[in-house]
């Protein structure tokens, strides 16, 4: 009797399970594909092997109740996303549900497959921005085909196998099951929700929220949330910026902005216009190099002996400022190449990479130059793959293109990077090469053999390491210039060096403050904090000298293009030529601003009257109201720049 009852129960259970078998199979298949994805890309939980992967899913059952292995391996969160993606299919009749699951499976398989192929070629995963730019990529079909491996077909096998099933269900009436699984659907949703929220909650405690907000690198999001989570956050970011909170700029405002450009920019100077006509342009963005290292000695040793020599043969701007904000390196890049301000939050490279921009590369390309960008790091970092496609570089050389003999810190040593970049520069054609160095990246770890200066007297580890790495960079720049000379490019090019942003080594009240400011007044600290060197070398050392006037990264594009003999009044560049008369207005994106006579220092709370106003030359504090006009000017400029980016106005202006 009891046996019969049990048998009944088992039968009942089997029936239930068989009713959900399609859904269970769907979840299992996608979990397998999640693993396959990690395996093919060599990321996160590939190290477990298939068994290890499965064991990890259930580790919480044996592991003293701990969910850690599940969380760390991103299994729980991936399962959560699969459930949330599909739970609603359970609200349909079984026949429809199977159709839905087949389509969802094909859709996810396609995304995973595209991600694997993309990862092999570019590092990083596909994104909404990259999909929107597919048309601009040019003909890469051949290289895509060569990147597909046989094992990738595993993503598709079940999709193909499900096609006959699809037809079968379509044709056979017996398969049309009318029952719905509402409760199971709600349950799948709740489990999915928990599987996502629980690990996210833990990640947030380790600073995950910031990483998710900034979305600097697709891989770091993936490490937090798995591949489905990454796509979710990428889509969310795009949805918020481009649909939900899209800022519409009125026609009137657009006209007002165009008017502003007519009266405020586009001036040229007889002195430098066309001074380097027909020459190449090589721009080198130096990671975290601040101006205080130039001509600075410690116990008689120069920190940057080579740059100190170079400033004497070049146009050197000691009162030059970085204007980068949260987007750091990418912001400096935006400022220099597009002459627009960075956004106050996030990076325009990430949030608005598919916009139309005016840029050095575009102007030069239109005039027969070949434009290349070089950075020996992942192409997906700061969303450069997408942004550089918008800036229309002919080629972006990334980590994949360099074979460093030595790696330091984040990647290829600057010496290797510079040497190999020179090899990549074209022989004929005038060209524009934009190089971004990397070795001197915070926190500046340098191998002992590169710590050649005696800096013990400084008594500040971070600052010492920083100076060692800047010294190393200085010597790499020497090699770069020698290589350029050897190739006959030094006197055939404008070569520009500038620092991308502050180095985060200056801290008030510590010996780093005294080191940098030489015990001068408070204003010295403020000024030095964002000062980066600008060194422009022209063939035959033309224009060599020290230019004390103020300037910022936003002014470089018009300055350099004018030297090459190109007018910029048709471009929407917010900066103006650094060689025209007088000081330039330098608005830092922190809200501080100078015009060379006054310096407005923004308070942390952003309230104007809580800030400070200084006389630029003397460092004397003056009445705050004196700074009101430059503060207003800066605010006006940020608003114009933001509207251009939020409203993709350059595209609109160019169409008119």
Window 99-158: residues binding Mn ion (CB under 5 A): none
Identify each DSSP E strand in 162-273 by its residue range: none
Residue 346 backbone phi and psi in degrees, to 5: 70, -170
Query: Which residue of this chain has its Cβ atom nearest to ligand GP9 in the complex?
Result: 328
SS3 per residue for 10-40: HHHHHHHHHHHHHHHHHHHHHHHHHHHHHHH
> Using CB distances below 5 to 8 A depending on partner kind, what does residue 463 bind out of Mn ion, ligand GP9, none?
none
261/382 with CB nearer ligand GP9 = 382
User: For the purposes of burial, counting CB atoms within 10 Å of the CB of 184, is it exposed (0-12), middle (13-18) or buried (19 or more)?
Assistant: middle
Alpha-carbon distances of 25 from 55, 183, 473, rounded to whole Å: 18, 19, 56
Phi, psi angles (nearest 5°) of residue 395: -155, 145
- Min separation Cβ 356 and ligand GP9, Å: 23
In the complex, least distance from residue 288 CB atom to Mn ion, rounded to whole angstroms: 6
181 binds, among ligand GP9, Mn ion, none (CB under 5 to 8 A by kind): none
Distance in angstroms (rounded) separating the CA atoms of residues 91 and 308: 72
Contact criterion met (CB below 8 Å) for 477 and 418: yes
Sign for the pseudo-dihedral over CA of 558, 562, 565, 571: positive
Residue 324 Cβ vs ligand GP9, minimum distance, rounded to whole Å: 8
CB of 473 vs Mn ion, minimal distance in Å: 12
Q: How far is the CB of 247 from ligand GP9 (least distance, A)?
A: 25
- Window contacting Mn ion (CB under 5 A); options: 28-36, 253-261, 280-288, 479-487: 280-288
Total of residues contacting Mn ion (CB under 5 A): 4
Query: Residue 377 binds which one of ligand GP9, Mn ion, none, with CB within 5 to 8 A depending on kind?
Result: ligand GP9
Residues that bind ligand GP9 (CB under 6 A): 328-329, 375, 377, 381-382, 436, 438, 441
Identify which of residues 118 and 442 has a Cβ nearer to Mn ion in the complex: 442
Cα(380)–Cα(544) distance, rounded to whole angstroms?
Answer: 38
Q: How far apart are CA 574 and CA 638, in angstroms?
A: 10
- What residues from 488 to 507 belong to the interface with Mn ion (CB under 5 A)? 500
Q: Could you tell me which residues are beta bridge partners of residue 302?
A: 297
CB nearer to Mn ion: give 92 or 410: 410
Stretch that binds Mn ion, among 1-9, 112-120, 281-289, 579-587 (CB under 5 A): 281-289
Task: Choose from ligand GP9, Mn ion, none: what does 118 bind? Cβ within 5-8 Å by kind.
Answer: none
Q: Which is nearer to Mn ion, 328 or 589 (CB)?
A: 328
377 DSSP 8-state letter: S
Q: Single out the residue of 56, 323, 329, 512 in contact with Mn ion (rule: CB under 5 A).
A: 329
As measured in angstroms, the least distance from the Cβ of 444 to Mn ion is 12
Q: In whole angstroms, how large is the CA radius of gyration of the chain?
A: 29
Least spacing, CB of residue 411 vs ligand GP9, in Å: 8
Q: Give the residue with the Cβ less far from Mn ion, 532 or 536.
A: 532
Whole-angstrom Cα distance, residue 656 to residue 653?
5
What's the burial of 13, exposed, middle or buried (CB within 10 Å: 0-12/13-18/19+)?
exposed
Closer by beta carbon to ligand GP9, 374 or else 584? 374
Q: Which does 23 bind (CB under 5 to 8 A by kind): Mn ion, ligand GP9, none?
A: none
> Which of ligand GP9, Mn ion, none does residue 381 bind (CB under 5 to 8 Å by kind)?
ligand GP9
Burial class (CB in 10 A: 0-12, 13-18, 19+), 494: buried
* Residue 129 or 436 having the CB closest to ligand GP9: 436
Contact 321, 586 (CB under 8 A): yes
Under the criterion CB under 5 A, does residue 347 sit at the interface with Mn ion?
Answer: no
Where along the sequence are the contacts to Mn ion (CB under 5 A)? Answer: 287, 328-329, 500
């Amino acid at each position: 009797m009891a046996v019969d009852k049990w048998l009944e129960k088992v039968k009942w259970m089997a029936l239930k399970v068989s009713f959900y078998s399609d859904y269970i199979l769907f979840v299992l298949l996608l979990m397998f594909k999640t693993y396959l994805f990690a395996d093919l890309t060599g990321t996160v939980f590939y190290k477990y092997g298939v068994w290890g992967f499965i064991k990890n899913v259930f580790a919480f059952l044996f592991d003293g109740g701990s969910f850690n292995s599940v969380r760390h391996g991103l299994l729980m969160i991936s399962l959560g996303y699969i459930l949330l993606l599909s739970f609603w299919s359970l609200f349909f009749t079984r026949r429809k549900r199977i159709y839905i699951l087949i389509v969802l499976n094909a859709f996810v398989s396609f995304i995973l497959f595209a991600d694997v192929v993309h990862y092999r070629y570019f590092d990083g995963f596909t994104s909404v921005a990259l999909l929107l730019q597919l048309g601009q990529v040019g003909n890469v079909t051949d290289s895509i085909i060569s990147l597909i491996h046989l094992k990738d077909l595993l993503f598709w096998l079940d999709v193909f196998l499900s096609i006959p099933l699809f037809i079968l269900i379509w044709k056979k009436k017996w398969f049309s099951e009318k029952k719905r699984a509402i409760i199971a659907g709600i349950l799948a949703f709740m489990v999915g929700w928990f599987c996502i929220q629980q690990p996210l909650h833990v990640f947030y405690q380790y600073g995950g929220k910031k990483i998710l907000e900034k979305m600097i690198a697709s891989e770091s999001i993936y490490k937090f949330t798995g591949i489905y989570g990454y796509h979710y956050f990428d889509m969310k970011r795009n949805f918020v910026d481009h649909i939900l909170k899209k800022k519409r700029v009125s026609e009137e405002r657009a006209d007002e902005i165009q008017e502003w450009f007519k009266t405020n920019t586009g001036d040229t100077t007889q002195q430098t216009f066309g001074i380097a006509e027909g020459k190449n342009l090589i721009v080198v963005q130096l990671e975290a190099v601040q101006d205080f290292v130039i001509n600075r000695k410690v116990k008689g040793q120069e920190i940057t002996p080579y740059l100190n020599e170079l400033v004497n043969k070049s146009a050197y701007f000691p009162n030059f400022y970085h204007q980068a904000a949260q987007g750091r390196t990418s912001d400096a890049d935006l400022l220099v190449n597009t002459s627009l301000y960075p956004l106050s939050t996030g990076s325009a490279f990430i949030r608005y990479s598919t916009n139309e921009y005016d840029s050095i590369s575009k102007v030069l390309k239109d005039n027969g130059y070949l434009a290349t960008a070089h950075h020996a790091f992942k192409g997906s970092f700061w969303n450069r793959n997408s942004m550089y496609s918008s800036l229309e570089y002919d080629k972006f050389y990334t980590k994949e293109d360099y074979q460093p003999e030595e790696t330091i810190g984040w990647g290829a040593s600057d010496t290797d990077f510079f040497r190999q970049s020179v090899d990549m520069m074209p022989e004929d054609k005038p060209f524009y090469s934009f190089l971004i160095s990397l070795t001197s990246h915070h926190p500046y770890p340098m191998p002992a053999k590169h710590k050649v200066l005696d800096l013990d007297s400084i008594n500040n580890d971070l600052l010492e390491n920083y100076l060692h790495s800047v010294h190393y960079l200085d010597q790499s720049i020497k090699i770069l210039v020698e290589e350029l000379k050897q190739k006959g490019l030094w006197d055939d090019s404008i070569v520009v060096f500038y620092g991308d942003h502050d180095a985060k080594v200056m801290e008030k009240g510590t010996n780093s403050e005294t080191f940098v400011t030489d015990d001068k007044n408070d204003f010295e600290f403020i000024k030095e904090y964002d000062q980066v060197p600008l060194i422009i070398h022209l063939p035959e050392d033309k224009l060599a000298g020290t230019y004390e006037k103020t300037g910022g990264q936003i002014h470089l594009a018009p300055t350099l293009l004018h030297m090459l003999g190109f007018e910029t009044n048709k471009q929407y560049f917010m900066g103006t030529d650094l060689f025209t008369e007088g000081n330039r207005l330098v608005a830092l994106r922190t809200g501080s601003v100078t015009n060379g006579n006054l310096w407005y220092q923004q308070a942390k709370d952003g309230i104007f009257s809580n800030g400070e106003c200084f006389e630029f030359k003397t460092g004397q504090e003056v009445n705050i109201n004196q700074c009101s006009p430059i503060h207003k000017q800066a605010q006006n400029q940020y608003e114009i720049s933001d509207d251009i980016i939020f409203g993709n106005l350059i595209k609109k202006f160019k169409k008119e």
